[in-house]
Structure 1
Amino acid sequence: MDLDTRNTLYDQAKKWIMEAGAIIKDQIGAPLEITTKSNPNDLVTTMDKNTEYFFVNRIKREFPNHLIISEEGYGDDLKDLEGTVWIIDPIDGTMNFVHQKRNFAISVGIYHDGIGEIGFIYDVMDDTLYSAKRGGGAYKNDFRLPTLPADRKITESIIGMNHYWLCENRLVDETVMQHFIRTIRGTRLYGSAALELAYVAEGIIDGYITMSLAPWDIAAGLIILDEAGGISTNAWGADINLLSTNSIVACNPSIQSQIIDDHLQKGRK
């Protein structure tokens, strides 16, 4: 993708994201129709569906040759990432949206032939936009995020982790993970994978680990984190597949081997 195309897509996507965020904020107190998907805690609302349709309708009208991977069913059924592909989560952190009316985000990643070109994560209620263009650095609003420090120690690290999978985890031995938690400085759980990836890019947490995320949960965050000097793989250090669910280790590169080699690989079931 050439620079002019990247800049055009960036400006258009940002405009739509801010418009969608304004609609959500305007309707935040309206009654919601809430249903469930894979389990009783996997929530979807009319706002999720309406926001996804907002993006799909505009993308297909403005860029008819572009393809879409999205959470709520309005996207395309893709077998590869050839061409320009938008990967969208209209509301990442739906449970937070339902219960807290905050701590959720719009997540939009744009890929071309499998390469991450543009990423946006918009914390709607906080009015904070994390963004990145390939080769242009990562930003929080208008502030360019500094490159992550190269000397982070695992014993001084705060790691975002989903506590639920620590209880139900069938991939890593629980005693190994207990040792890991005792080794690091602390854990945090925010309830939005997109925001947690943005926080790793910002450096306010040092890593994020989870055992099952869909492409729309992570697509934008991977681009933003990469531009901030972070690194993302699956739990075993392999490349992430944006056409399927993945385990995720996203972190400051200086602690990656201590997470994967010293703990996850050793505890792998």
Structure 2
Amino acid sequence: MDKINRDKLYLDAKAWVLEAGEQIRNKINEPRVIETKSNPDDLVTEMDKQTEKFLVEKIKATYSDHYIIGEEGYGDELTSLQGTVWIIDPIDGTMNFVHQQKNFAISVAVFHDGIGEIGLIYDVMADELYHAKRSEGAFKNEELLPEPRQDLKLEESIVDMNHYFLCPNRIVDEKIMHQMIRTVRGSRTYGSAALELAYVAEGIIDAYLSMRLAPWDIAAGVVIVNEVGGNVTTLDGDELNMLGNNSILACNPKIQEQLLAFIKNGRK
């Protein structure tokens, strides 16, 4: 993808994401239609669907030869990432959107022939846009995000992981995970994978672990984290599959091997 095309794609994507965010803010206090999908905690609202439909219509009207992967079903059924592919999560953190009316994000990535070219994560209520173009740095609004700390120690790290890692289950040994939490400085969870990846890129958390995420949850965050020099792999340290679900470890490279060792020891 040449620079001119990528720059136009980025400007269009940014404009559409900001417009979609404004629409959400304008309707944030309206009554919600809330449904469930795979389980009672997997929520979807009419705003998720409206936002994805808005973005898909903008993309298809402007770039008719591009493909779309979207959470709410307005995209295409793809078996490869060849060509230009937009990967969209209209509201990442729907539970936060429903219960808190904050701490959710619009996440949009553009991949070309399998390479992440553009990533946008918009914290709608905070009006904070994390964004990156490949090889051009990553930003929070207009502020360039720094590279990860080179002197970081695991004992000084803040690790983001949900409670599932710490409860008895069939996948991990919670005792090993408890040991990891006792080793690091602190643990957090925010309820939006997109924002959690953005926070890794920003350096306000040092690692993010998740058992199972879809491409739309992570695509923009992968672009942004990679652009600052962070690492994003599966929990086994393998390359991600951007057409399927993945476990996720996104982190400062200085603590990656130690975290992978804890995870390996904790896997059942």
TM-score norm. by structure 1 comes to 0.98
Deviations 1:55-100 (A, max 9, x none): 1111111101100111001110110100000000000000000000
CA contact (8 A) 2:168 2:174 kept: no
SS in 1 for 2:90: strand
SS in 1 for 2:177: helix
Residue identity opposite 1:68 in structure 2: I
Larger deviation, residues 161-170 vs 79-88: 161-170
CA RMSD of aligned residues (A): 0.8
* Aligned position for 2:266: 267
* Aligned position for 2:215: 215
Q: CA deviation at 1:173?
A: 1.6
Q: CA deviation at 1:149?
A: 1.2
Counterpart-to-counterpart distance in 1, 2:225 and 2:94? 22
Q: State yes or no: 1:122 paired with 2:115.
A: no
CA contact (8 A) 2:88 2:216 kept: yes
Counterpart-to-counterpart distance in 2, 1:123 and 1:85? 22
Counterpart-to-counterpart distance in 1, 2:70 and 2:160? 24
* Aligned position for 2:8: 8
* Aligned position for 1:153: 153
* Aligned position for 2:64: 64
Q: CA deviation at 1:150?
A: 1.4
* Aligned position for 1:105: 105
Q: How many residues are paired up?
A: 268
Q: State yes or no: 1:183 paired with 2:162.
A: no
CA contact (8 A) 2:225 2:231 kept: yes
Counterpart-to-counterpart distance in 1, 2:264 and 2:160? 19
CA contact (8 A) 2:196 2:208 kept: yes
Q: CA deviation at 1:174?
A: 1.5
* Aligned position for 2:18: 18
Q: CA deviation at 1:223?
A: 0.3
* Aligned position for 2:52: 52
CA contact (8 A) 2:135 2:227 kept: yes
* Aligned position for 2:252: 252
Residue identity opposite 1:129 in structure 2: L
TM-score norm. by structure 2 comes to 0.98
